[in-house]
Structure 1
Amino acid sequence: MPSDAFIDLLKLLIRAPSVVGAEHSFFRVLQRELEERGAQVTWYEGLLVAQGSDPFSTMFSAHIDRHGLVCTGPNEFQYAAFVSANRTDLLNNSVSEELMSKVTERFNHEEVYAYEPWSGVYRGKGVIKRSYVCEFRNNLMFEIDGLEGVVAGTPIAFKDQLQLVDNRLEGQLDNVISAAALVHLFDHGFKGTAFFTAQEEAGKSWRYLLEWFRRFGGSTNRLFVVDTSPFPNLEAANQQLLVLREKDANASFNQESTEQVEALCRANNISYLYKNRYVENDNASRIAQGLPASSLGSTELGRIIAASNRLVDGTTIQIPTIGYHTMHESVAVPSVDAFIDVLKILSKL
C-alpha cells in the first residue's frame, strides 16, 4: 500500500477542482504543497515548474487538468476539453474522443459544482440530468439541475473523492494521481524538476512546456512524462503493473530512455506492457474482422517531440486504469507502488 502521506496528499488534490481551461486555482494548491516540501516553484502560462537543487538531473512532467464542463450560455453546459481546444467537431482522432463519444451516459446523475476559476471559490452545486452529443454542434452537451443561475464561462467540476475498493484506488484519477506522485517525490529529497502542465486534454499543454525548454533547456532535454493509460476491462489492466510506450500517433520516443525504464522494471520484477504494441496487435485482429483500427493515442510527449524537432525528447511511464475519464477510474494498489518506486529509482532517491 502507498504511504499514508501519499494517500493523504492524493485525497487533498483530488478534491481541488482543475477543469481543463480553468486550472489556476489548482496551481495555487500545488504551489502551497510543493513549497511546504522545499521546492522552488515558478509559474508560467499554463505551466507550474517545481525544482530541487539539481534541476537537470531528472525531469518529469504530468498534466494536471481534469475533465469537466463549462457554462456556455443560460443553463447550457458543454464538455470543457472541446471548448478549451476551440473545437466544434468530434473527429474521433484520439483515444479520448473515441471513448467520450461512447460513454456519455456514464455522466448521468453525477454530482457537479461550479467554482470561480482564479480562486477556486465555490459557486453552487447541481446534478447532471442528461448528457448527449448534439447533432447540430457535434459536441457533448449536458443538462444540469441546480446551476440555472451560473453565468457563461464558469467551470463546472465533478464532485470527487478518493476511494479504496477491492485493493484499487478509485476516483477521477487522470491525471491527479501522477501529479500527487511528483509532489510526493519532494518528500524524499527530489533534486530534479517537475513540470505540471495545463490543458493537456485540450491538446495544448505541449506548447507551454516547449516554451520553457526553448528559454531554459539544455542540449539534452530528457523528459519522463507520467500519466494514466486506459484499458477496456479489469483483466486487461491487471496483466501488467506499468505501461510503457515506444511511440504514439505523433512521434517515436527516445529509445535509450525507454530501454532504461524497461531495464528498471526487469531488475525490480515489475511487470510492464508496451501500449503501442498492444494497440497494434489489437488492430490486426480488428482489421481481420472488418472493424476499424483504433488510434495509437496522442500524448503530450509525442506532440512536444514532433513540434520541437526533438529539442525535447524522452519517454512515458503510465499507470494502467479502467473506467477512463469517468468518476470511477481505478488503478490497482500494486501498480501505484510500482509507479512510485520507478520514479524514485530514476531520481536516485
Structure 2
Amino acid sequence: MPNDAFIDLLKLLIRQPSVVGAEHSFFRVLQRELEERGAKVTWYEGLLVAQGSDPMSTMFSAHIDRHGLVCTGPNEFQYAAFVSANRTDLLNNSVSEELMTKVTERFNHEEVYAYEPWSGVYRGKGVIKSCYVCEYRNNLIFEIDGLESVVAGTPIAFKDQLHIREGRLEGQLDNVISAAALVHLFDHGFKGTAFFTAQEEAGKSWRYLLEWFRRFGGSTNRLFVVDTSPFPNTAAANEQLLVLREKDANATFNSQSTALIEQLCQQHGMSYLYKNRYVEQENSKRLAQGLTAQSLGSTELGRIIAASNGLVDGTTIQIPTIGYHTMNESAAIESVEAFLDMLKIVAEI
C-alpha cells in the first residue's frame, strides 16, 4: 500500500471538484497543499506551476481536469469537455466522441453536485436521470433531478471519493491520482518543476503549457507527462505495472527519455508495456476480423511536441487502469506504488 500520507492526500483531492473548464477552485486547493510543502507556486491561464530549489532539474506535468457536466440552460446540462472544446456537433468527429455516445448509460443514476467555479462553493446536489443525443443539436444532453434552479454556466461535478477494494484504488482517478503524486513528491524534497494543466480532456491543455515554455523554458526541455492509461479489463491492466509510450497519434516522443524510463524499469524490476505497440497489435487482430482499427490516442505530450517545433519534448509514465472515464476507474495498488517509486527515481529523490 502507498504510504498513508499519499492516500490521505488522494482522498482529499478526489473530493474536490475540477470539471473541465472550471478548474479554478481545484487550483486553489493545489496551491495550498503545495505551498504547505515548501513549493513556490505561480498561476497562469490554465496552468499552475510548482517549483522547488532547482526548477530545471526535472519537469513533470499532469492534467487536473476531470469529466463532469455544465449547465447550458434551464434544467439542461451538457458534457463539459465538449462544451469547453467548443464542439457544436458531436457525431462522427472522432473516436473518443463516438465512444462517448456509446457509454452514456454509465452515468445514469450517478450523484452530482453544482459548485461555483472560482471558489468551489457548493450549490446543490442532484441525480442524473437520463442522457441522450439531441436530434436537433447532435449533442449529449443530460437530465438531472434536483438541480432545476441552477443557472447556465454552472459546473456540475460527479460526487466522488476514493475506495480501496481487492487490492485496487477506485474512483474517478483520471487524472487526480497523478496530480496527487506530483504534490506528494514535494513531501520528499522534490527540487524540480511540476506543471498542473487545465482542459486536457477538451484538448486545450498543451497550449497553456507551451506558452510557459516559450516564455521561460531553457534549451533542454525534457518533460515527463504523467497520466492514467485505459485497458479493457483487469487481466490486461495487471499484465504490467507501468505503461510507456514511444508515440501517439500526434507525434513521436523523445527516444532518449523513453529509453531512460525503460532502463529504469528494468533496473528496478518494474514490468512495463508500450501502449502504442499494444494498440498496433490489437489493431492487427481487429483488421483481420474486419473491424475498424483503433486510434493510438491523442495525448498532451504529443500535442505539445507537434506544435512546439522542437522547443519541448519528452516522454510519458502512466498507470494502467480499467473503467476509464467512469466513477469506477481503478488501478492496482502495486502499479500505483511502482508509479510513485519511478517518479522519485527520475527526480533523484
TM-score by length of 1: 0.98
- 8 Å contact 2:71–2:156 — kept in the other structure? yes
Consecutive unaligned residues in structure 1, runs of 5 or more:
none
Q: Specify whether residues 92 and 223 from structure 1 end up closer, same or farther in structure 2 by C-alpha distance, changes over 3 A only.
A: farther
- With 287-296 and 70-79 compared, the bigger mean Cα shift is at 287-296
Structure 1 position 42 matched with structure 2 position 34: no
Matches within 5 A, 1:19-58: 19-58=19-58
Whole-Å Cα distance in 2 between the matches of residues 65 and 96 of structure 1? 17
Counterpart residue number, 1:255? 255
- Counting aligned pairs with the same residue, the percent is 86
Q: How far did residue 93 of structure 1 move?
A: 6.0
Matches within 5 A, 1:1-349: 1-90=1-90, 96-349=96-349
Q: Specify whether residues 92 and 47 from structure 1 end up closer, same or farther in structure 2 by C-alpha distance, changes over 3 A only.
A: farther
- 8 Å contact 1:94–1:297 — kept in the other structure? no
Structure 1 residue ranges (4+ consecutive) displaced by more than 4 angstroms after TM superposition: 91-95
Whole-Å Cα distance in 1 between the matches of residues 60 and 265 of structure 2? 18
TM-score by length of 2: 0.98
Q: Specify whether residues 275 and 95 from structure 1 end up closer, same or farther in structure 2 by C-alpha distance, changes over 3 A only.
A: farther
CA RMSD of aligned residues (A): 1.0
- 8 Å contact 1:21–1:84 — kept in the other structure? yes
Whole-Å Cα distance in 2 between the matches of residues 259 and 101 of structure 1? 37
Q: What residue identity is the alignment partner of 2:189?
A: G
Whole-Å Cα distance in 2 between the matches of residues 217 and 49 of structure 1? 13
Deviations 1:112-140 (A, max 9, x none): 00000000000000000011222322222
Deviations 1:68-124 (A, max 9, x none): 000000000000000000012335665643432221101000000000000000000
- With 24-33 and 125-134 compared, the bigger mean Cα shift is at 125-134
- 8 Å contact 1:95–1:298 — kept in the other structure? no
- 8 Å contact 2:91–2:138 — kept in the other structure? no
Deviations 1:157-215 (A, max 9, x none): 00000000111000000000000000000000000000000000000000000000000
Whole-Å Cα distance in 2 between the matches of residues 232 and 135 of structure 1? 30
Q: Specify whether residues 48 and 101 from structure 1 end up closer, same or farther in structure 2 by C-alpha distance, changes over 3 A only.
A: same
Whole-Å Cα distance in 2 between the matches of residues 209 and 101 of structure 1? 30
Aligned residues: 349
Q: Specify whether residues 223 and 282 from structure 1 end up closer, same or farther in structure 2 by C-alpha distance, changes over 3 A only.
A: same
- 8 Å contact 1:93–1:295 — kept in the other structure? no
Deviations 1:296-340 (A, max 9, x none): 100000000000012100000000000000000000000000000
Whole-Å Cα distance in 1 between the matches of residues 233 and 315 of structure 2? 25
- 8 Å contact 1:172–1:329 — kept in the other structure? yes
Consecutive unaligned residues in structure 2, runs of 5 or more:
none
Whole-Å Cα distance in 2 between the matches of residues 181 and 91 of structure 1? 36
User: 2:156 aligns to what SS in structure 1?
Assistant: strand
